[in-house]
Amino acid sequence: MTRRVTILGATGSIGQNTIDLIARDQGRFSVVALTGGQNIARLAADARALRAELAVTADPALLGPLREALAGSDVEAAAGPEALVEAARRPADWIMSAIVGAAGLQPGLAALEQGTVLALANKETLVTAGPLVMRTAAAHGATILPVDSEHSAVFQAMLGEDMSSVERIILTASGGAFRDWPLEQLPEATLAQASTHPNWDMGQRITIDSASMFNKALEVIEAKEFFDIAPERIEVLIHPESMIHAVVGHIDGGMLAHLGAPDMRHAIGYALNHPERAPLPVERLELAKLGQLTFRAPDPARYPALDLARQVMARGGLSGAVFNAAKEKALDLFIAGQVRFTEMADLVKFALDQADTHSGLIDAEISLDNILKADHFARCQAEAAMAQRQ
Ligand code: NDP
Ligand code: MG
């Protein structure tokens, strides 16, 4: 029997890597729905090639062009945020969550509500709504498989064991585009410079977040929520070669590291084939050729996002939603050329400090409504912080 799969965020970097794996093995899969945003040509071409039942764009204004691009095929077209949620509700055996940003939360929750397997690349889902997401998965008998490479690595290094045997988790980080820049040059970093990654080929937003380590900050929170581990037992280690994706330290002192070439098709393919393993088109590491792997501690002055993540975990409540939304807004402003690279952390800190004084907002129940309120509040605060700086 074929496996019914849906890909949310099919036109992005993770989505395209997922399609690459599925297209190599089309007999095993039937595609229920593909979703995208602005890239209608890609969405329509993939929906046709994979004979999807449904293609959805997040942008209601693009329904006409999507319909046109699908003319003459059997693929249904739909558009808008509600249509994305409907796509995630269509019965499927495996759903990839690879929309970028908080926009991935509601479709992800809808997927969990149908009790399916959710391959989770969208880290914002757990950062903004961890307890709600884990509760929803449990209530509907859904399985979440981590796709973020570090979390997939931890998951694999813990197979057959539970958290009682784990002393700590170490998430590795490449250090991003500016790991070797003189600190005083960081305020001058341009968008083009921040958009290049030393090792991984990813979407623009996560690439910039890697340079600032907001990506790692989100991942620390994601690890806390998914593995239910105390924040002080999650460490971050700079590992410039990006070959070790995570290390699990056990209570007996043994440490299990997960190694692999920096290619997201490993983590995606692991989730696609789980609980089995199958050959994947990823490079085989030749350790003798690599010669050495190196490590160093991250410098808090270079990566203030890491301390902000610690504050968020200590504060709890809806501060994860505030943190993520303020970060998304700060990143929008950096991409638009309105704030400097180093100002992004200042904007996020401002939003977190403001949220702290609104205890009614941040200590409210972790429900979708309250998450959306906290998200809106944080974006406004980040914008206000920018206005004050000019
Ligand atoms: P991309 O920017 O490459 O792709 C994002 C996808 O989301 C595209 O399909 C895009 O559509 C769609 N999209 C954008 N905005 C919206 C919106 N408002 N509503 C619905 N869909 C939207 O991102 P990545 O693939 O790099 O990342 C996806 C997620 O996976 C992120 O959460 C990221 O943190 C996570 N991740 C990514 C990794 C990577 O290697 N890239 C590694 C680990 C985690 P379109 O392009 O058509 O506009
Ligand atoms: Mg990652």
Closest ligand 1 atom number to CA of residue 11: 9
pLDDT per position as a tens digit, 202-241 = 999 999 999 999 999 999 999 999 999 999 999 999 999 9
- The 3-state DSSP class for residue 29 equals strand
Residue 195 among known ligand-binding residues: no
User: Residue 26's pLDDT band (boundaries 50, 70, 90)?
Assistant: confident
pTM, two decimals, is 0.98
Q: Which ligand is nearest to the CA of 123?
A: 1
Q: Indicate the DSSP class of residue 389.
A: H
Determine if ligand 1 sits within 6 Å of the CB of residue 154: no
Q: Point out the ligand 1 atom lying closest to the alpha carbon of residue 209.
A: 34
Q: Compute the mean pLDDT over every residue in the chain, rounded to the nearest whole number.
A: 97
- Spatial neighbors of 177 by CB under 8 A, at least 6 apart, are 189, 193, 194, 195, 196, 197, 198, 207, 210, 211
Q: How confident is the model at residue 130 (pLDDT cuts 50, 70, 90)?
A: very high
205 lines ligand 1 (CB under 6 A): yes
Contacts of 291 (CB under 8 A, 6+ apart): none
Name the β-bridge partners of 30. 4
Q: What b/e sequence results for 103-129 when a residue is b if at least 16 CB atoms lie within 10 Å of its CB, and e otherwise?
A: bbbbbbbbbbbbebbbbbbbbbbbbbb
Nearest CA to ligand 1 atom 41: 202
Judging by DSSP bridges, how do beta strands 143-146 and 117-120 pair with one another?
A: parallel
The answer to whether 233 and 169 have CB atoms below 8 angstroms apart is: yes
Q: Which two tokens stand for residue 239?
A: 């590992």
Centre of ligand 2 to C-alpha 169, Å, is 14
Q: Measured from the CB, is residue 13 less than 6 Å from ligand 1?
A: yes
Ligand 1 midpoint to CA 103 (Å): 10
Q: Which residues are paired to 354 by β-bridges?
A: none
Residue 46 backbone zone (phi > 0: left; psi -120 to 50: alpha; other: beta) = alpha
Q: Please, which residues have CB within 8 angstroms of residue 5's CB and are 6 or more apart in sequence?
A: 22, 29, 30, 31, 32, 92, 93, 94, 95, 96
Mean pLDDT of 49-76: 98
Taking the centre of ligand 2 as the mean of its atom positions, its distance from the CA of residue 104, in whole angstroms, is 16
Is the distance from the beta carbon of residue 108 to the nearest atom of ligand 1 less than 6 Å? no
Coil, strand, or helix at residue 116? coil
Euclidean distance between CA atoms 251 and 200, whole angstroms: 32
pLDDT score for 389: 82
User: Is the pLDDT reported for residue 88 higher than 70?
Assistant: yes
Between β-strands 255-259 and 244-250, what pairing exists: parallel, antiparallel or unpaired?
A: antiparallel
Using a pLDDT cut of 90, give the percent of the chain over it: 98
68 marked among binding-site residues? no
Predicted pLDDT at 2:
95
Whether the CB-CB separation of 177 and 197 falls below 8 Å is answered with yes
Helix axes 105-113, 81-89, angle to 10 degrees: 30
173 in Cβ contact with 213 (< 8 Å):
yes
Select from 99, 221, 372 the residue to mutate for testing ligand 1; criterion: most ligand atoms less than 8 Å from CB.
99
**pLDDT for res 390:** 65
What spacing in Å lies between the alpha carbon of 172 and ligand 2's midpoint? 9
CB 268 within 8 A of CB 219: no
In this structure, what DSSP letter does residue 257 have? E
Q: Determine contact, residues 96/147, Cβ cutoff 8 Å.
A: yes
The pLDDT tens digits of the residues spanning 315-360 come to 999 999 999 999 999 999 999 999 999 999 999 999 999 999 998 9
4, β-bridge pairs: 30
Specify whether the CB–CB gap between 29 and 21 falls below 8 A. no
Question: What is the sign, positive or negative, of the torsion defined by CA atoms of 111, 112, 115, 120?
Answer: positive
120 membership: H or E segment, kind and range: strand 117-120
Task: Say if ligand 1 is within 6 A of residue 146 CB.
Answer: no
Quickly list H helices, the chain.
Answer: 13-23, 40-49, 63-69, 81-89, 105-113, 124-140, 149-157, 191-194, 204-212, 214-227, 265-273, 287-290, 304-315, 319-335, 343-356, 359-362, 368-389
Q: Whose CA is nearest to atom 11 of ligand 1?
A: 37
How far apart CA 357 and CA 339 sit, in angstroms, is 25
Ligand showing the shortest atom-to-Cα distance for residue 206: 1
Kindly state the tokens that stand for 273.
């084939």
Question: Does 258 show up as a binding residue in the annotation?
Answer: no
Q: What pLDDT does 1 receive?
A: 84
Q: Helical H runs in 275-362?
A: 287-290, 304-315, 319-335, 343-356, 359-362
